[in-house]
Amino acid sequence: MARWGIVGLGEFAQKWAKDVFENYKLEQNAPEQVLVAVVSTSSLAKADQFVRDLKLNQDTSVSTFDDYNQFLEADIDVVYVAAPNSAHFSLAKSAIDAGKHVLLEKTFTTSHEEAVILQKSARKNNVFLLEAVWTRFLPSTKKIWDLVDQKTIGDIIQVSADLSHLVPYEPQQRLFNPDLGGGVLFDSIIYSITWTFGLLRSKSSNYTTTGLTVASKSGVDGGATVVLAFPDLGAFGIATGSFYGESPPYAVTIQGSKGTIYVDRASRPSKAIVHVHGESERELDLNFEGLGYFYEANEVARAIKRGDLETELYPVDQSVEIVKILEEIRNKSV
Ligand SMILES: NC(=O)c1ccc[n+]([C@@H]2O[C@H](COP(=O)([O-])OP(=O)(O)OC[C@H]3O[C@@H](n4cnc5c(N)ncnc54)[C@H](OP(=O)(O)O)[C@@H]3O)[C@@H](O)[C@H]2O)c1
């Protein structure tokens, strides 16, 4: 059983918690998942309302807090940190120092230095740490990555993935607010680059990176492209994202020497077309259960039960490396 606590009680945390605690049993042999505590950094009333809105069907009651240190003294195994990016480091570091396992929302941290500190602290304190890139744990992602590994489309030449949303400009809102760690690199590119990491970086550590961003009115990056070139593999990974438009209907293209796989969405793949040269196209229905967040939460619970400090499905080294790449591109903004 995993006993969860949540900090960062926004809209997303509500969606995530509903999916995890209502749907985790949809996966065969899932470990029991129980919410035991939530904390609002602004008011106890907000924490109480968060729990009421969840309408959980579990025997255990949920304790509510407005003090993070008191929350960390509760009987929690793992803290899910769903606060804005700029608050990730301090909330995760305190949880780790209190001996709690941590599932930390994406993007891991807003600086490479912070990412390294979190990784070292988790190891030192013997606690599990994972960045919540839920795409990595979806059965649909696994099916596509397995197809590629089976060389269905030959050797990979290029992986390109886009995650774009038309976001109304609100300078105070998290996505455009520099003080909350806004910007498309931290919000969307983390998903696009997952495809490069899963399909190319997993096969070679020899790569060079380049990238460009376009600044929004608030100064944070509103559009970005990150390219990784792998000379050993003769392949490119291209990750793009924007707040100024929507992704195309097939946002991920995996181009190989024998064919191409087109995937509908970079963050939540549910449909793919496999086109092998000289054969007719195959459409794969990859729909999954619920909203899909419970797969990552179940992996956290399983890893903790195994006594693992990270999961091989998304090692912390990769989160740290990606933050380094994003930081480099961010500093090179045009
Ligand atoms: N996996 C996904 O698909 C997905 C989707 C959306 C967002 N996210 C991630 O989830 C995280 C939260 O996103 P969101 O849109 O829910 O953010 P949000 O609404 O701006 O903030 C969530 C909550 O965090 C709490 N918080 C704690 N420290 C804070 C601080 N220093 N400043 C402001 N708020 C603070 C606030 O609640 P209290 O005042 O009650 O503490 C706030 O309501 C981000 O890291 C984002 O990248 C992931």
CA distance 1 to 116: 29
CA distance 34 to 5: 9
pLDDT value of position 333 = 62
276 lies in the same domain as 188: yes
Average confidence (pLDDT) over 198-226: 96
- In terms of DSSP bridges, do strands 235-242 and 129-131 run parallel, antiparallel, or are they unpaired? unpaired
pLDDT value of position 334 = 56
Q: How many domains does the chain have?
A: 2
pLDDT value of position 139 = 96
Residue from 11, 12, 53, 109 to probe ligand 1 pocket by mutation (most atoms less than 8 Å from CB):
12
- Please tell me if the CB atom of residue 160 comes closer than 6 angstroms to any atom of ligand 1: no
Atom of ligand 1 lying closest to residue 83 CA: 24
What value, to the nearest 5°, has the Cα angle with vertex 329 and ends 328 and 331?
Answer: 65
pLDDT tens-place string over residues 62-98: 999 999 999 999 999 999 999 999 999 999 999 999 9
pLDDT tens-place string over residues 21-60: 999 999 999 999 999 999 999 999 999 999 999 999 888 9
Joined together, the tokens standing for residue 293 give 């967040």
Q: Is residue 321 a part of any domain in this protein?
A: no
204 has pLDDT over 70: yes
Residue 19: give the domain boundaries. Answer: 2-134+293-313
3-state SS assignment for residue 83 = coil
Please give the backbone phi and psi of residue 98, each rounded to the nearest 5 degrees, phi first.
-85, 5
Which residues, other chains included, contact 165 with Cβ-Cβ below 8 Å and sequence gap of 6+?
188, 242, 243, 246, 247
**How many CB atoms neighbour CB 255 within 10 A?**
18
Average confidence (pLDDT) over 288-313: 96
Question: Distance between the two ends of the chain, CA-based, in angstroms?
Answer: 49
76 lies in the same domain as 53: yes
User: What rounded mean pLDDT belongs to the chain?
Assistant: 96
Q: Is residue 70 a part of any domain in this protein?
A: yes
Q: Is residue 325 a part of any domain in this protein?
A: no
- Please tell me if the CB atom of residue 243 comes closer than 6 angstroms to any atom of ligand 1: no
pLDDT tens-place string over residues 322-332: 999 999 998 87
